[in-house]
Structure 1
C-alpha cells in the first residue's frame, strides 16, 4: 500500500468499509481492535468473531487477567501489516471476514450469574453460524464456552495447551474455579476425554479423568512433530476446541500469568505446533491467563496476540475455497 493510502486510514476499527484486508495504521496509535479488524456487533457476513471476556475472579494465585483482552488487542496491532508467517501464503486477514465483537459485558459483582452470561454470549455468535476465538480472562471462562459449543456440536474433542490439567476434583458444578473447569467439562459430558489431549503439562494430577496428556518434558525430548502427530491422531476429524493457557509457555516466554511454572514450552514450539495442527476440525478456541500487571515489556501479551492469530488461522484454514 502506498504511503498516501496509509495516511488515509484513520481508526480503521471504525472506518473501514471492507472487513477483509491488511491494515497499515501506526501500531502505536488508533483504536486497538484485534488485528485492526472492524469493531462491530453485526455478524452478517462474518466468518469469525474475536471477543474478549475480561474475568479473573476464579484465580488461585495472582489476579489481573481481566486486563488480558485489552493487552492482547494492543499487542496485536503490529501483526496486520503482513500475512501470518508459516502458513504457506494463506492470508486469513485478506480472504475472510474477521470481526472484533468487543468484550462481553457483565456485572463484576454478580459472580454467580457470570457463567450463564458467557454461555449465552458465545451461543449468540454460534447461532449466526460464525466461529469464535475468545481472549481471556482466566481459564474458568472455557467451561461456559464449552457448554455453548457442546449444545451445537455435541461432546467435543479438546486440545489444551497448559501447565496444569485443570482436572482437580470438584463436584460442585456451581463453584467457579479456573483449576477445576476441565474436570467439570468432562463430568458434564461437554468433552470426550478419549479423543482429547493436554499438551505442556508439568504439574501433578491424581486423576486425568481419561484425558490424554503430553508433559512438557516429553515435548522437549520427542519433539514438535511427534507431539502434533499424537494430537492429530487423538482428535481425528471430530469437532475440536483449542484452548491455550498462556502458562503453557515457560515463564521466560510468558512471565505475565497467574500461576507460572518453569520447564514449559518455548514460543517457537507453540508456534510450530499450532501451525502443524492445520487441517484439524477446529470449531473454536481461546487464549487465556494473560495477566498484564505481572508482564514485562508486553512479552506475554505479544505471545497471547500471536496465539490468537494462529487460532484464527487454524479455524479458517479448512474454509479455503468454500
Structure 2
C-alpha cells in the first residue's frame, strides 16, 4: 500500500496510518507526517518541522550533522494522540515535515546567514518552526528570525547542560558555545525573560557565572530540578516568561548520558527524559513562537536512546504550539 496523504480530524493532512502501513517502511519523515511539498493546493502548514544538518560549530565530538535524519527515524513510533495533554496535535494544526535546509558545512558565517534567510522564508505565511539540528550554533539565526517575526525581542528558555554564553573559541565568535552571548549582544532576546534549565558540570571559572548573570539569565540547574521538583520549576519559568513571545531551545545534552548518550559534550548528573517532558507540558498556554532540539549525534547513540528522547521532546513542543494555534483559530 502506498504512503498516500490522508485527511484527518480538523481537515488536515495527517501522518501515514500505521494500522495500514508498517511504521518501519517507507520514508522516515518526522512522525510519518506529510512532506511540505505533498500538501494539496489550498492547504497551509501551521507548523513546519525542518532539519538543519550542520555541526561545524562543535568543540568536542562531531556528528550532529546526522541528527536530523536520526531523530526522524526514531520518531516512527510517535502516535497522533497525546494523552498527557488530551490533545491531537496533528488534528489541531497542519504539521508537515519541510525537509532539511542546505547550509554550507565549510563556512559558519555563510551557514548562519542561510539559516536566518530560510527561517524567515519558511515562516512568511505565519507558520511556526520546530527545528531539528545540528549543533547549537543554529539557534542564533533562528532567534534572529523569531524576533523579526515577533516584532520584538523574544523570551527565551534554554534547556542545556552548558551555558553557551562564552565569548569565543580559538578566536571564533560563532560556535555552539557562544550563540546566546551573541544573542544578548544583538538584542534578539528579552533579557528580562531568559533562563537556563538543567545546567551542570565544571566551568572555566567563576567569571562564567558572573557574565551569565550580567546578561540577565536566570539559572535552574539539574540539581535544582531534582531538589525543587518539576512543579516549582515550571512555576518559576512561567513567572519569568509571562505572556511574551517565547522561543525554546533544547540541547539534548540537558539529559543525563543515561538517557541521551548520543551527543557531543555529555555531562554526568543530568535530568531524566521524564523530567524534561513534564516541564515542557507545564508550559502549556505560553506564547511559543518557535523551538529547536539540537546536538543529537547518532554515532554515539546505542539503541536509539537519544533519538527517541529527542523525538519525544520535539513532539511535546509541537503539541504546545499546535494547542496554541488551535486556540487562536477558535
Q: C-alpha offsets along residues 62-110 of structure 1, whole Å, 9 cap, x if unaligned?
A: 0000000000001111113x412301x2101223210100000123234
* CA positional deviation for 1:27: 1.9
Specify every segment of 5 or more residues in structure 2 that has no aligned partner in the other structure, as ranges: none
Partner of 1:289: 295
Give the match's secondary structure for 2:78. helix
Match of 1:60 in 2: 59
Q: Which runs of 5+ in 1 are unaligned?
A: 1-7
Matched ranges for 1:195-214 at <5 A: 195-203=193-201, 204=203, 205-206=208-209, 207-208=211-212, 209-214=215-220
Determine if contact 1:167/1:182 at 8 Å carries over to the other structure: yes
Instruction: Please say if residues 171 and 184 of structure 1, whose CA atoms lie closer than 8 Å, have aligned partners that are also in contact.
Output: no
The CA deviation at 1:21 is 3.3
1:81-100 correspondence to structure 2 within 5 Å: 82-87=80-85, 89-100=86-97
Does 1:142 find its partner at 2:148? Answer: no
Q: What is the alpha-carbon distance in structure 2 between the residues aligned to residue 257 and residue 132 of structure 1? A: 22
CA contact (8 A) 2:136 2:251 kept: yes
* Alpha carbons 2:164, 2:181 under 8 Å: kept: yes
Question: Separation in 1 of the partners of 2:93 and 2:326?
Answer: 9
- C-alpha change, 1:21 and 1:192, in structure 2 (3 Å) is same
Q: CA RMSD in A?
A: 1.8
Correspondence for 1:4:
none
**Offset, 1:53:** 0.1
Write the deviation string for residues 284-322 of structure 1: whole angstroms up to 9, x where unpaired: 000000000011111000001001101101111222241
Q: Is 1:20 paired with 2:13?
A: yes
> What's the TM-score once normalised by structure 1's chain length?
0.92
Q: 3-state DSSP class of the match of 1:238?
A: coil
Instruction: Tell me the TM-score normalized by structure 2.
Output: 0.89
Query: Paired residue for 2:326?
Result: 320
**Distance (whole Å) between structure 2 residues aligned to residue 165 and residue 136 of structure 1:** 18
Match status 1:39 vs 2:35: yes
Distance 1:155 1:310, change over 3 A: same
* Residue 179 of structure 1: aligned partner: 177
